Amino acid sequence: MESYIRFDWAMKRLLRNKANYAVLEGLLTTLLEEKVTIQKLLESESNQEDEFDKYNRVDMLAENSKGELVLIEIQNNNEYAYFQRMLFGASKLVTEYINRGQGYDKVRKVYSINIVYFSLGHGKDFVYHGKTEFVGIHEGDVLELSPFQKQTFKVDKVSQLYPEYYILKVNDFNRVAKTPLEEWIYYLNTGNVPENATAPGLDAVKERLKLDRMSREELNAYYKHLDNIVILRDNIETERAEGRAEGRAEGRAEGRAETQTAIARNLKSLGMSNEQIAAATGLAEEEINKL
């Protein structure tokens, strides 16, 4: 099985070329379950200057043939407020891509596609879809559009007017790829394309994202990128391990102090002097006086 360029690197360096749109279109078509054609790429909100962010995440903003906005973001390392970050990113697009004075009927549809290489939340699946629905608190019915609204907005459901979110937890994929979406997740996870893959866009990956198509300079930069991602992850894991160790040490110290305090309190109730109690427990006489 041949190795291919990681998707985040491809997004930074290769997929912004119109000749390579087929790769992105394939992913979006597979995920959204409808034919997606990218009309153009727009300026995304994060051309990172920060060294950490430069390797930790990458995003791309596209406009499809329907005039809808698609934000694709890859996050390599843990961000505890990532759910809120998704909300902020989608909301920012809604407000930025409407001209002042335009009616609300001109609000653009936004898809937020989030490819995460860390454990986000708790769940059993590896692909999640979020959308907005209004459910009656008494009848349990879903609020629907009027016939006029359906005709005007060219959609069938209220949820189709609101941003939709997709989360691809690629590190959680550990099975044989059997569906087109699983084939894509497998590539995003491993950097390899399954044999006999049929998912849209993966044929373009095979053709255009092979490692052996890169020049020596490009390969050096690419491998440096991979090394930096590993270093970032190792640093985070080290910080977590040190934090857990410090927490355990502090817990043991607090436990010992509480035990000594309890012993001192018992000895004091037996009538022993503060000096004797201090010698037995190691506590200062000032502390014993307060018991």
Q: Would the pTM count as exceeding 0.85?
A: no
Cα torsion at 277, 283, 289, 291 (round to 10°)?
-90
Residue 16 sits in which domain range? Answer: 7-212
In this structure, the answer to whether residues 95 and 181 fall within a common structural domain is yes
Last residue of a domain, one of 161, 181, 212: 212
The answer to whether position 227 is within a domain reads no
In this structure, the answer to whether residues 160 and 22 fall within a common structural domain is yes
Distance CA 44, CA 47 (A): 7
Give the CATH number of the domain where residue 267 resides: 1.10.10
Total domains in the chain come to: 2
Q: 181: closest CA among 130, 131, 129?
A: 129
In this structure, the answer to whether residues 100 and 198 fall within a common structural domain is yes
* pLDDT tens digits along 195-204: 889 999 999 9
Q: 64: closest CA among 96, 32, 91?
A: 32
In this structure, the answer to whether residues 202 and 257 fall within a common structural domain is no
Amino acid (one-letter) located at 21: Y
Which of these ranges, 108-122, 130-144, 205-219, 225-239, has the smallest mean pLDDT?
225-239
- For tokens 């994202």, what's the residue? 209
Q: 120: closest CA among 163, 166, 167?
A: 167
- Quote the radius of gyration of the chain (alpha carbons, Å): 28
Instruction: Name the average pLDDT for the chain.
Output: 85
Contact 222, 213 (CB under 8 A): no
The answer to whether position 268 is within a domain reads yes
The answer to whether position 219 is within a domain reads no
Amino acid (one-letter) located at 197: A
Q: What is the DSSP letter of 20?
A: G
CA–centroid distance for 26 within its chain: 21
Q: What is residue 91's three-state secondary structure?
A: helix
Count of C-beta atoms within a 10 Å radius of residue 78 = 16
pLDDT exceeds cutoff 70 at 55: no
In this structure, the answer to whether residues 138 and 240 fall within a common structural domain is no
The answer to whether position 224 is within a domain reads no
The answer to whether position 96 is within a domain reads yes
Q: Percent of the chain beyond pLDDT 90?
A: 48
* Mean pLDDT of the 47-52 span: 48
